[in-house]
Amino acid sequence: MPVLAGAVAPRGASHHLVVVGGSYAGLQAVASARESGFGGRVTLITAEDHPPYQRPPLSKAYLLGKVAEDALPLRAESFYRDAAIDLVTGCRVSHLDPVRRTITCGQDRPMPFDALVIACGARARRLAVPGAELDGVVVLRDLADARALRERLTAATSVLIVGGGYIGLEVAASAASLGKPVVVLEAGPRLLARAVPPQISDHLVRLHRRRGVTIRLGTGLDRLDGEGGRVVRAMGSDGARYPCDLVVVGVGAVPNVDFAQACGLATPAGIAIDAFCRTGMEGVYAAGDCTVQPNAFADSPLRLECVQNAMDQGRSAGAAVAGRPEPCPGIPRFWSDQFDAKLQSVGLSAGSDLSVSRGSSEEGRFSLFHFRQGHLRAVDSVNRPGDQIIGRRFLAAGLSPTPDQARDPAFDLRTLLPVS
Ligand SMILES: Cc1cc2nc3c(=O)[nH]c(=O)nc-3n(C[C@H](O)[C@H](O)[C@H](O)COP(=O)(O)OP(=O)(O)OC[C@H]3O[C@@H](n4cnc5c(N)ncnc54)[C@H](O)[C@@H]3O)c2cc1C
């Protein structure tokens, strides 16, 4: 899709910025537009009934009852008032008219915009196996899902998780910490295969098994059986029967691109944007989990699913709307908490040709530094947040330690960085 270069950004007081999607990317876009001096009208529209809130705790502290709902909002109500942002909740945009430059929510009157940011995120992918519609089979993407899951988890006697990705493993850790018997079925040969290298996958298998979680690798789900409409057992592709009264499906997310696709702005893979978050339509930007963007860490444009990327892109889109375009930094960053392990990644390890470790996997504190042709590409860590900060600084500065320096725990990597 062609991406417009140098489109003139509307920023005058009479201009109307509409942002669709009230989460990390959308909220950051409106905040950054204001911070960058956008003086026009701003409307933030979200399909959910709540103002933007934090999603990561939904599979971790919130499920464990350690974080209450009133701690989840990303901004206080006063933020919207003070920044003169019209927040519209419970409104799902169904149509974008690129000629009249309007968006429409269901039966509402079309709303005109001068600048538009599409930040619709992603939804949980559903299972396509017999029994997937039974009561007790759930996904986790938003607060409504999390409320339902928390309630069901309290009553559950055996939990089956389908998918050994971030969501599946975080829910597995939370459920096991609540004393529930948990089985994880992962169709691939290792956990988190798309996101982390084998050494981290292996560490996670050991961690979960030590905490009583049953992990079945190379095992898909053939069917779910129910009684009286409720799920009671799963049939694995290994031929085994797994009794369960709660099934959590964590098999990835699908970008929300319906109305963008209908007007030719997106493919099912996402909304293509350039480094400034511009789409192929003048004055229309996109940010967050629904986008596909070129990235220096990958050979082809990427759709990243993480808070950092959503915020970086939201910031870039908001600044561009205000006429102060700034390219997205594009350094991927992920984190996950499972039991007492904090897993963090910066950069992308895929495509590296050498990995060296620092710290000790046995002690549960180690990092992997990944190199391509001798240059640092990514750092994956378990419980070594300091290495993440250093890795981020190397990648941001385009610098690299040598592999020998990275693997030597006595070598202070900070000495290679410019004084900050
Ligand atoms: C349970 C859970 C745990 C996570 N943990 C982590 C973590 O530890 N670390 C990390 O980096 N990332 C984590 N993530 C991923 C992270 O939350 C996402 O990458 C991030 O929320 C993406 O933000 P976003 O603004 O692009 O989209 P989303 O957060 O998906 O929000 C999109 C919003 O747009 C709304 N919307 C969609 N379509 C429309 C429409 N047509 N009209 C109006 N509104 C619409 C949606 O209802 C939603 O409110 C987690 C995600 C989940 C679900």
Show the 3-state SS of the chain. CCCCCCCCCCCCCCCEEEEECCCHHHHHHHHHHHHCCCCCEEEEECCCCCCCECCHHHHCCCCCCCCCHHHCECCCHHHHHHCCEEEECCCCEEEEECCCCEEEECCCCCEECCEEEECCCEEECCCCCCCCCCECEEECCCHHHHHHHHHHHHHCCCEEEECCCHHHHHHHHHHHHCCCCEEEEECCCCCCCCCCCHHHHHHHHHHHHHCCCEEEECCCEEEEEEECCEEEEEEECCCCEEECCEEEECCCEEECCHHHHHCCCEECCEEECCCCCECCCCCEEECCCCEEECCCCCCCCECCCCHHHHHHHHHHHHHHHCCCCCCCCCCCEEEEEECCEEEEEEECCCCCCEEEEEEECCCCEEEEEEEECCEEEEEEEECCHHHHHHHHHHHHHCCCCCHHHHHCCCCCHHHHCCCC
pLDDT score of 44 more than 60: yes
Between the CA of 52 and the centroid of ligand 1 the distance, in Å, is: 10
Shortest-distance Cα residue to atom 28 of ligand 1: 121
Distance in Å, CA 57 to ligand 1 centroid:
12
Query: 48 CB less than 6 Å from ligand 1?
Result: yes
Instruction: Give residue 366's pLDDT.
Output: 97
Enter the pTM of the model: 0.95
* Residue bearing the CA closest to ligand 1, atom 53: 141
pLDDT for res 3: 30
Q: Is the CB of 25 under 6 A from ligand 1?
A: yes
pLDDT tens readout for residues 391-402: 999 999 999 999
Residue 304 Cα: closest atom of ligand 1: 19
pLDDT of 374-388, one tens digit each?
999 999 999 999 999
> In angstroms, what is the span from residue 289 Cα to ligand 1's centroid?
7
Tell me the CA–centroid distance for residue 122 and ligand 1, in Å.
6
Res 368 pLDDT > 90: yes
For ligand 1, atom 38, the nearest C-alpha belongs to 120
Q: Is the pLDDT of residue 18 over 70?
A: yes
pLDDT for 333 equals 96
Q: Ligand 1 pocket: which of 20, 23, 28, 328 to mutate (most atoms <8 Å of CB)?
A: 23
Q: What percent of the chain has pLDDT over 90?
A: 94
Q: pLDDT per residue over 128-168, tens digit each?
A: 999 999 999 999 999 999 999 999 999 999 999 999 999 99
What is the best residue among 141, 307, 392 to mutate for testing ligand 1's pocket, by most ligand atoms within 8 Å of CB?
Answer: 307
For ligand 1, say whether the CB of 24 is within 6 Å of any of its atoms.
yes
Q: Is the pLDDT of residue 175 over 60?
A: yes
Average pLDDT over residues 354-359: 96
Asked whether 336 lines ligand 1 (CB < 6 A), one says yes
Question: Residue 355 Cα, ligand 1 centroid: separation in angstroms?
Answer: 31
Mean pLDDT to the nearest integer, 358-368: 94
pLDDT band at 11 (very low <50, low <70, confident <90, very high): low
Nearest CA to ligand 1 atom 12: 306
